Structure 1
């Protein structure tokens, strides 16, 4: 399917089914939110990377306008629905301050694959333990997608965008597996280093080496 959508470019990667809180303060985007909310229409958040608009983004729907401040600024809640690819940007729209784009929606697998994701979840929880972070996923493990955990594994923005470009769940899971395979050994090494630093200066009880 190909259609036109208003766009709100951000240095932010939003994944399908992800809920995000946004503070809206620019006049053009206050107009965009007001229009989309009144007409019950979604808008797109294409990713901006290194000050450049990328070709990929996520369609979002407005779940709630939480607050409209005295100056017209807004606090809103949006939820990601579909990944899109930009075909053409329309910079100027009649009577609008914001821009739009012609986009299509690549076929995207979004069925849970728990048998493959299960070891990744264990690695993520190992990561949380090493970082002394307490986090709980908001769904039962069996229903989780790679999208649900991608923001919790320490990906940089470029890596998050790369994940958005994979349309098969197994490819996304493999991407996360490879990332964790690199990160976890480093954190284990750091943990060992911290223990060595703590022990420095203490009396050591060591067994001698037999020659």
Structure 2
């Protein structure tokens, strides 16, 4: 892990952003509009972090989880009333070293990167990742079939780390589980848990216990 420490703006939310995934955000508070403008002007990321205790963004004493995700600003649309609609693109994870509460209108933090440990056997990890990717394709096709949708090909990341996050980001999971997956520093263990979840969801879909709305999955594929 890179132990260098630097300062970033924080955007506390009641959701988890995974690396290699995207999160639409609607920014209306002036202090967070200021934060977005700062990031645009300096070409720098901000940190998305799950709230542990307190109210979303409006609580200056909000308690945060320790691990979050760096986000770059993708698409940005300004509204006439000053609100901002943007797409936050998840990059690397970070660990909060210290929260800075009174330096700016928005929260900042000293952070360091939070990365996966290197796999012991890369070839074995890649083989397992390929198997999980195939199971996810099968699950997604099953979910889309329920709505009469078809896909020719589902593109997924190749590396075990990126794949585990990409799949976790598409599944409808409770926030404590999403945060646990985010904090894991073992790509194989994260893939194993995602694989177990896929198995459960696939069985539920097949038995019509889990009536997933196909519209949820449209953004992840290109239906023909």
On whether the aligned pair clears a TM of 0.5, the verdict is yes
2:171 counterpart (145, 153, 159)? 153
1:1-211 → structure 2 map (5 Å cutoff): 1-49=4-52, 51=54, 52-64=63-75, 66-93=76-103, 96-108=104-116, 113-131=125-143, 132=146, 134=149, 139-140=155-156, 142=158, 145-190=163-208
Rounded to whole Å, the distance in 1 between the matches of 2:150 and 2:101 is: 40
Count of residues paired in the alignment: 188
Rounded to whole Å, the distance in 1 between the matches of 2:188 and 2:118 is: 10
1:4 to 1:124, Cα distance in 2 relative to 1, 3 A: same
Rounded to whole Å, the distance in 1 between the matches of 2:10 and 2:177 is: 22
Shift of 1:10: 1.0
Shift of 1:20: 2.6
Of structures 1 and 2, the larger Rg is shown by 1
Shift of 1:109: 5.3
> Relative to structure 2, which stretch is displaced further, 112-121 or 39-48?
112-121
> Relative to structure 2, which stretch is displaced further, 78-87 or 101-110?
101-110
> Relative to structure 2, which stretch is displaced further, 11-20 or 164-173?
11-20
Rounded to whole Å, the distance in 2 between the matches of 1:138 and 1:73 is: 34
CA contact (8 A) 2:93 2:115 kept: no
Rounded to whole Å, the distance in 1 between the matches of 2:194 and 2:96 is: 25
Rounded to whole Å, the distance in 2 between the matches of 1:23 and 1:110 is: 36
Question: Which TM-score applies when normalising by structure 2?
Answer: 0.72
Q: State the Cα RMSD in Å.
A: 2.7
Unpaired runs of 5+ in structure 2?
55-62, 210-224
